A and B are shown apart, each in its own frame.
Chain A
């Protein structure tokens, strides 16, 4: 047996020595796909874990929070502990600013005697720190705060320094001990933010919140406890299930992550195809050799085992390489993903890559298993086939292949039926992705039959004057389908998928621009600077501006977040001028009717993402229950909102006041008169108020900024799309090149029969051109279908945005161009070869 393996090893190595590109293709295909999958998975997983870490920081093991409007009286906490003795901790949370370092910190003050968040945050017990704990907790003596930062330098760890911070225009000093949070073994659970940790007494003093808390964290394990608390809780306070809230926030980004994973899956499948195709071609080329070996008595099992080992080895190396490259690519990808999440969903400050060795090992093992599994049938089939059957002519292969067509047609029909079903039925986001996949597959499976039909359709009658070159081209195309079919199908899938994504993005861009231009209609937008005092100054400014003759009209903005149907929803309101009202774009109903209902009947508006997620429409009722207030509202209209997938409602100010009595104006929009100079007006405001009180933004700045953010969010999509398309084109080009190289003996025969180089070159290039054109043309409807599915199905189900599809001729040109380029590139080397190889040279490539 060992002699057989030695012989097989020598033959195999000899084959790859002569055809190294096959080995390279197998390795490269799998490596590239694993790289993309691993990079996206790591980045997505890390972003998710960073979110969990950051939210655990302030919530810890709490299942619920009591929140006030806006604060909680500490006597409520005292009464809670005396009445119920449930596990509860008081909490003060704020963002403070260090002007010397130009950095913000999250301040967390809690009862350090009881809060076990501390140990999970620090990664060790408070008591193991070298600080006088009783002074730390019960006095103002230094140190009185811990500064936890992943950027803390080890050399200053546990040293005490005095630092000044500011909060809402008041500043205070803290004597901080610098700590680096404990880094667990596998780099998991790391801190998401820079944290200032202190006892609650200190926190109340420095934040000037004596007697106040921002929340009470609770661990409630029984429904009875929850009901008792809800019955007891006084009116202004709300008991919020933080797990549900965190889950709702987490779920917001689910669609985003799912889209990324779908892209990575596409890349993986294409890479796997590349490997599979290269392997298949390699096996086909070795059929005669295997046949001879079988005739010499080497058992089929030995051949099968050896070939599987060959695949295992290549897959192992490729997978390991892919993991390494994926890990390297994950970091920059994580930064891009975090930026997108920050723009759309929630603030996530930290971009720490999180992974474990076990994850890598599992990924490696999975990839190798999949690769071996995919190759199993081909290898077994070739190894077990009787020797004589391994030696077949090309004609015989083509004949066998013809029998597959009916099956492919049935499969294509099934795919298209599945696509329609996934669209018509409420199958969610996954159903949308399945529809895109089956749609692509359905089109792809029709392609070989299309080529056959076109070839037969153009087959001339016996009396035809069609040039022999054309005859040869068409017949050759049909004959070679058993070689080229898979590559062509893959080419169509890759181009259509990529084209569909581009079409979706370009349509989205157009819709977004139109919406933005309409929505950002005011000349100036004013809000408070981040570390400035809250609403009182803005309200005073509003009252001043209301009588300013340079202002044609102005609007105010207010907003609060609540939990509704397990989702974080933003309630908006404000005094809106007519121009602001006119800037809203609504679905289906005329704007005048909608605003009439809002103003006269106290109806509300909801945004499209919220409406789509909950199947709401004009005329439906929704019930809001917050902080002891309950009210039912009728929906007057649904407005387009491409700014965020988060659900939003707009209601009249007096309805808003019922839920949120502490009204805070968060922004003002100004419409200036035609003769007012914007810059001069801004200067006037800045002169009247202390520096850095307000942030004043012009209309064009907002539009530019929003456009920049929009483009940034699609950078990931563009990058991944490009990578996937690049892999696909390489794979297909290589596959086509392989088939053309396989035809070189035929070309030598033609050469020997007297065909000149131009004719031979023409055949080698002409066939790919023909196939490329057919594929490209057929890819156009496939691309349009993909684009439609992505905009009308996937996008709507993922984010709730409906986008009008806007195809253009440039896209058509791109599809055809890519298709032709992939096909022709694969023929260049074989063409060069055939032109420079003498007719008498034997052997195959």
Chain B
């Protein structure tokens, strides 16, 4: 999903296709979508492929690009980078209730996965500094995605929020005390960011989160010191860092019940102005937490034929140090597929990941097959369980199918 936003930039390219894509997305999202419903299965007005294809235009040159590692400062760089085109704050995790009084009939303990993402997209490049005459004309659009997967019940629900920044509808509030889109918020601790509180609720889907998070490991700068390249073109890159293991506690709201929960989470923050190359249609992204306190981040960007055009990998040890590894060290085989009965899209649904160098042989299996996000964009984002050489949990994102 993080890559998706990097590529949504073309929505804001002032040409008819991108404008059509953006505004149609927005209109679909919001016209009657204040009560978002995945159950209504609105057909997307565009495909992820449409979003991802690069097109050349004159105004895109005015966006600042990530062309080399940018020195990062904390906590300032946890917040927004409004001059860049795209940005997102991405939380995923697995939670279990504090007590098993609400456990299902099954003997396995209750477990829920969550995904909470805040996206920012700039509509117009920063051509001149005095362009904005009115708060409503601030050219930032924010989108929020929330999904909860109830593993025992095999139910996955998702909701969204969408708003322009306007006079305080979304973005960073005046005293920088929180980042939000409407009523969904990321509330960092002032002057330090951590611990951070994330809160979001959708009454219609009967899902919600109210969690505090604190990192158990130091920051991981992806790519080269945070400079994460996406293709052979060095301008096609983002600044990308992760907190690969966080302690999470609070409550999840599910079907009219507030469940006190605790568990572990993963946090990504990425920003860029670049886009995917022509021919690149989507990606598979894995964020896996192994039971030996290691974490594995891996993404593959695919072309139209399904071939891998670009990939990156990061393996983090128990101390938070990145272990030396290259994409050639890893093999990923898709073992099964799943076809959505709602959209007809066919997604890979079982993988075998081998990293011989570190004796890793994992079977990665979704906890629920149907974790398709049927919002204005269609993609698959869901919790997975690991087995094989290591046990563990994680999240996988599949786009462009």
Q: Which residues of A contact B (CB under 8 A)?
A: 74-75, 78, 81-88, 111, 113-114, 116, 119, 125-128, 130, 132-135, 137-140, 199-202, 204-205, 210-211, 219
Contacts and interface: CB of A to CB of B under 8 A. Distances in A.
B31 A119 contact: yes
B80 interface: no
Given A133-B23, A134-B124, A139-B131, 4 more contacts: A78-B167, A87-B35, A127-B20, A201-B136
Interface residues of B, number: 38
A127 B14 CA distance: 12
B40 interface: no
B168 interface: yes
Contacts of B123: 134, 137-138
Given A116-B27, A125-B24, A134 B19 contact: yes
Given A127-B23, A134-B14, A201 B32 contact: no
Interface of B: 12, 14-16, 19-20, 22-24, 26-27, 30-32, 34-35, 123-124, 131, 133-139, 141, 161-164, 166-169, 180, 182-183
The 10 closest A-B pairs by CB, nearest first: A201-B136, A116-B31, A87-B34, A114-B30, A201-B137, A201-B134, A138-B139, A127-B23, A133-B19, A134-B123
A81 B163 contact: yes
26 contacts: A74-B167, A78-B166, A83-B183, A85-B34, A86-B34, A113-B27, A113-B30, A113-B141, A113-B164, A114-B27, A116-B31, A119-B27, A126-B27, A127-B20, A132-B19, A133-B19, A133-B20, A134-B12, A134-B19, A134-B123, A134-B139, A139-B137, A139-B139, A202-B134, A202-B137, A204-B134
Contacts of A119: 27, 31
Contact of B19 (A83, A127, A201): A127
Nearest to B136: A201
A134 B141 CA distance: 11
Contacts of A219: 34
Contacts of A127: 19-20, 23-24, 27
Nearest to B202: A85
A125 B19 CA distance: 12
Contacts of A137: 123, 164
A485 to B, nearest CB: 64
Contacts of B30: 113-114, 116
Interface centre among B12, B19, B169 (most CB of A within 10 A): B19
A140 B183 contact: no
Contacts of A81: 163, 169, 182-183
A130 B24 CA distance: 14
B167 A199 contact: no
A85 B161 contact: yes
Contacts of A135: 14, 124
Interface centre among A74, A133, A135 (most CB of B within 10 A): A133
A529 to B, nearest CB: 29
A125 B182 CA distance: 25
Contacts of B138: 138
A211 B23 contact: no
B169 to A, nearest CB: 6
B131 to A, nearest CB: 7
A201 B124 CA distance: 15
A787 B33 CA distance: 57
A766 B42 CA distance: 82
B182 to A, nearest CB: 5
A114 to B, nearest CB: 4
A75 B32 CA distance: 23
Contacts of A125: 23-24, 27
A201 B139 CA distance: 11
A498 B77 CA distance: 85
A82 B183 contact: yes
Contacts of A128: 20
A215 B211 CA distance: 36
A78 B26 CA distance: 19
A132 B14 contact: yes
A200 B136 contact: yes
A210 B134 contact: yes
Interface centre among B12, B31, B162, B163 (most CB of A within 10 A): B31
Contacts of B167: 74-75, 78, 211
Contacts of A138: 123-124, 137-139
A200 B163 CA distance: 14
A216 to B, nearest CB: 13
Interface centre among A84, A86, A134, A199 (most CB of B within 10 A): A134
Contacts of B182: 81-82, 85
A614 B168 CA distance: 46
Given A81-B163, A134-B123, A116 B32 contact: yes
Contacts of B19: 127, 132-134
Contacts of A202: 134, 137
Contacts of A111: 136, 164, 166
A34 B301 CA distance: 72
B14 A82 contact: no
B59 to A, nearest CB: 9
A229 to B, nearest CB: 15
A411 B212 CA distance: 85
A82 B16 CA distance: 32
B14 A113 contact: no
B139 to A, nearest CB: 4
Contacts of B32: 87, 116
B50 to A, nearest CB: 13
Contacts of A140: 133, 137
A113 B165 CA distance: 11
Contact of A75 (B22, B168, B183): B168
A78 B24 contact: no
Nearest to A140: B133
B135 A201 contact: yes
A78 B170 CA distance: 9
A199 B139 CA distance: 13
B27 A205 contact: no
B134 A133 contact: no
Nearest to A87: B34
Contacts of B16: 130
A681 to B, nearest CB: 46
A82 B181 CA distance: 8
B22 A133 contact: yes
Contacts of A205: 133-134
B23 A139 contact: no
A119 to B, nearest CB: 7
B21 to A, nearest CB: 8
Contacts of A113: 23, 26-27, 30, 141, 162-164
A119 B131 CA distance: 28
Contacts of B14: 132, 134-135
B159 to A, nearest CB: 10
B55 to A, nearest CB: 14
A201 B133 CA distance: 8
A78 B168 contact: yes
A747 B163 CA distance: 92
Contacts of B15: 132
Contacts of A87: 32, 34-35
A305 B137 CA distance: 75
A229 B307 CA distance: 54
A505 B239 CA distance: 82
Given A132-B14, A134-B124, A78 B27 contact: no
A113 B19 CA distance: 12
Contacts of B163: 81, 113-114
A87 B19 CA distance: 24
Interface centre among A78, A85, A113, A205 (most CB of B within 10 A): A113
A205 B31 CA distance: 26
Contacts of A86: 34
Nearest to A132: B14
B211 to A, nearest CB: 19
Nearest to A81: B182
A85 B136 contact: no
Nearest to B184: A85
